Structure 1
């Protein structure tokens, strides 16, 4: 079987990049590309066994929040964004963006579907809640506008982009709003705006390998690391960082493999030292950059009876682990865990206590854990 190594890795070597000697278990390599450090892990260096890691190794704490229940507040979540003050729910089926406080009390709908001011004609693709200035930024899948509201739901203004934005992702820092999207042809891949005035500050021509020909594919980002605008463009095999200050795209992380078939995967950064790679059909790989090790992993919620803790990209965003689900789903999850032979008496006590707080037919419940900023203890 012929070895197939990803293009960027080979291109980096041809451009004069060099690799540092691996440490740890040999699965992680540092690569210098045009003066910037990136990391790669080798899928072929992984052991076949899977390590169980506790959610408490990823988050500082974990709370279960009941969202307010009435006829107007039921949610159908797609992505849930948590900040120190708010819970924002970007919904499926073109339903409005919903804003709750951290106790779960409903505050307001933010915008709605339609063609008027402050309305979105197509599904929302990204959101930012700015606690400091009490603002909400929303972008739709295909538009030339970023919509700005206050946290009372009032539409304030549009920030108008010089190009049409396809599946845009946003990053806000020091009053600068940066947007990355899927560029067609000679479109810029990024634009930066003064967040207060909407003034266009600068753009960035797209590298040829990130130009797309169709609306297929996605852009994912997490914003988990302060000051780091990470994004994964599904047309590429690399997790990138956008250098906001220098208006530059830098390679950050990638996977190498030997296979006749390219694995379909998602990268997402948990903190500055830990990255996850979900490989469809195979499982989840954690890469510890601090200790230079990688492993197949499964995460359990040790705060709540060691139930499985989903760790898809929808759960790890904006500096939090967030799991938004219907109470009926959680009841089923708890009952499944209680039936397991390895469910300890202490686990049963915690799970039954949680079970007693749940009400079928109520609005969704949300697990919230603030992500740790670094790998504090070796996890495997």
Structure 2
């Protein structure tokens, strides 16, 4: 199939920041290229003014196993405060330099703010349907410079704003209602970049606005338009690039041929940079793309499984496969990622593990104890790692609050 045709599908946008550093490793340092012996699976093609890396699934022939330390700095494990008001469920965590923000779970609860040592600071607003309240939230940001917390609810035309004491402030109008959206507030320029689902009646799929809701730049959905289906479409973060904030639109059902785009904020352009040509295209597999500093990663699965709810049909993917492609060489392979900072345990769904420059995993104490038990059964542990895990195991109580694993993504 013509590659240009394959570039005219769903939305994958790049816009925000990441972090850098070096890490130590549990085993011998594997700083050599993990894809050095893998075949070339992609080639650059010219699409308009853009060089696009177009890759072929049929050329992926091997699987590589890569340590987390190849991509991320030293792992930090933070125990969250276990006061009653601080308890969180199995939720996502947003990380900044000095804070951890625990997201709402289901049924919706209020976000909770901790410092980086895990001390509970405050509850952020409240779950509900009143002014300044929220239920489902698609994205969050901690703005340390201006001491603000921003939350993007589903189906909203406002970005909610809170101070660091959790008090609701005047929300920021968006100028357009967003079914689901990702955003980045630039604390210096005082602008907001927003990307939303490209529904047919959505006037812009990505835009930059000021704090009053005035759109300074915007891009219409164009060929990215999709049918209304909030449950089976999702904007997801890629990892990140330097000074870039990444989005990824999953058109879960029906999947379609698409590309990963980078948003050029100065020129106000969506530039295609990566596409993946599946062996089977009828139907197109459920899939997603992510962008790392030196690699593209992605996943695809077997036919979606239909599940009915009281509201709508929901489709979940079958068995999922992850792959990784070197941006420069085009070499690629299926891949597994293991946490060499934590007993060499495999990390599930490795292609999408980095969010806003961090690997973050919030884990309940019982599950953490199980992971440690499984790691201690391995024969490939060094004595130093075995002691580290044993010492940690002795400090964990079954009634503790969650523990948070954090590792900063390298450049």
TM-score w.r.t. length of structure 2:
0.80
Report the Cα distance in structure 2 between the residues aligned to 1:6 and 1:77, rounded to whole angstroms: 41
Name the SS for the 1:351 alignment partner: helix
Q: Cα distance, 1:71 vs. partner? A: 0.7
Report the Cα distance in structure 1 between the residues aligned to 2:7 and 2:153, rounded to whole angstroms: 36
Residue 76 of structure 1 corresponds to 89
Q: Which runs of 5+ in 2 are unaligned?
A: 10-36, 302-318
Report the Cα distance in structure 1 between the residues aligned to 2:170 and 2:49, rounded to whole angstroms: 40
- Structure 1 residues 148, 11: CA separation in 2 closer, same or farther (over 3 Å shift)? closer
Report the Cα distance in structure 1 between the residues aligned to 2:373 and 2:151, rounded to whole angstroms: 38
Equivalent pair of 2:298/2:351 in contact (CA under 8 Å): no
- Structure 1 residues 214, 227: CA separation in 2 closer, same or farther (over 3 Å shift)? same
2:336 pairs with 292, 298, 312, which one?
298
Equivalent pair of 1:77/1:90 in contact (CA under 8 Å): no
- Structure 1 residues 86, 338: CA separation in 2 closer, same or farther (over 3 Å shift)? same
Equivalent pair of 2:136/2:153 in contact (CA under 8 Å): yes
- Count the aligned residue pairs: 356
Name the SS for the 1:336 alignment partner: helix
Residue 192 of structure 1 corresponds to 208
Q: Cα distance, 1:24 vs. partner? A: 7.5
Residue 376 of structure 1 corresponds to none
**Structure number with higher strand proportion:** 1
1:267 aligns with 2:289: yes
Q: Which moved more, 1:151-160 or 1:213-222?
A: 213-222
Report the Cα distance in structure 2 between the residues aligned to 1:109 and 1:123, rounded to whole angstroms: 16
Residue 181 of structure 1 corresponds to 196
Report which structure shows greater RCO (CA 8 Å, sep ≥6): 2
Name the SS for the 2:274 alignment partner: strand
Name the SS for the 1:330 alignment partner: helix
Report the Cα distance in structure 2 between the residues aligned to 1:6 and 1:213, rounded to whole angstroms: 27
1:164 aligns with 2:186: no
- Structure 1 residues 240, 212: CA separation in 2 closer, same or farther (over 3 Å shift)? farther
Equivalent pair of 2:56/2:277 in contact (CA under 8 Å): yes
Q: Cα distance, 1:194 vs. partner? A: 1.6
Report the Cα distance in structure 1 between the residues aligned to 2:173 and 2:8, rounded to whole angstroms: 36
Aligned pairs for 1:277-288 (under 5 A) are 277-280=298-301, 281-288=319-326
Q: Which moved more, 1:282-291 or 1:99-108?
A: 282-291
1:103 pairs with 104, 113, 117, which one?
117
2:240 pairs with 211, 221, 224, which one?
224
Residue 9 of structure 1 corresponds to 6
Report the Cα distance in structure 1 between the residues aligned to 2:325 and 2:354, rounded to whole angstroms: 15
Report the Cα distance in structure 2 between the residues aligned to 1:11 and 1:200, rounded to whole angstroms: 25
Q: Which runs of 5+ in 1 are unaligned?
A: 13-22, 374-380
Q: Which moved more, 1:159-168 or 1:326-335?
A: 159-168
Deviations 1:50-88 (A, max 9, x none): 221111101122110001111111112432111111111
Report the Cα distance in structure 2 between the residues aligned to 1:175 and 1:46, rounded to whole angstroms: 44
Q: Which moved more, 1:104-113 or 1:339-348?
A: 339-348
Residue 58 of structure 1 corresponds to 71
1:133 aligns with 2:146: yes
Name the SS for the 2:343 alignment partner: coil
Name the SS for the 2:86 alignment partner: coil
Q: Cα distance, 1:343 vs. partner? A: 4.0
Residue 304 of structure 2 corresponds to none
2:375 pairs with 320, 329, 337, which one?
337
Q: Cα distance, 1:314 vs. partner? A: 6.6
Equivalent pair of 1:83/1:318 in contact (CA under 8 Å): no
Name the SS for the 1:322 alignment partner: strand
Report the Cα distance in structure 2 between the residues aligned to 1:103 and 1:358, rounded to whole angstroms: 16
1:241 aligns with 2:262: yes
The Cα RMSD (Å) is 2.4
Residue 18 of structure 2 corresponds to none
Report the Cα distance in structure 1 between the residues aligned to 2:174 and 2:229, rounded to whole angstroms: 20
Residue 220 of structure 2 corresponds to 205
Q: Cα distance, 1:371 vs. partner? A: 0.2
- Structure 1 residues 360, 244: CA separation in 2 closer, same or farther (over 3 Å shift)? same
Q: Cα distance, 1:234 vs. partner? A: 2.0
- Structure 1 residues 204, 124: CA separation in 2 closer, same or farther (over 3 Å shift)? same
Q: Cα distance, 1:278 vs. partner? A: 2.4
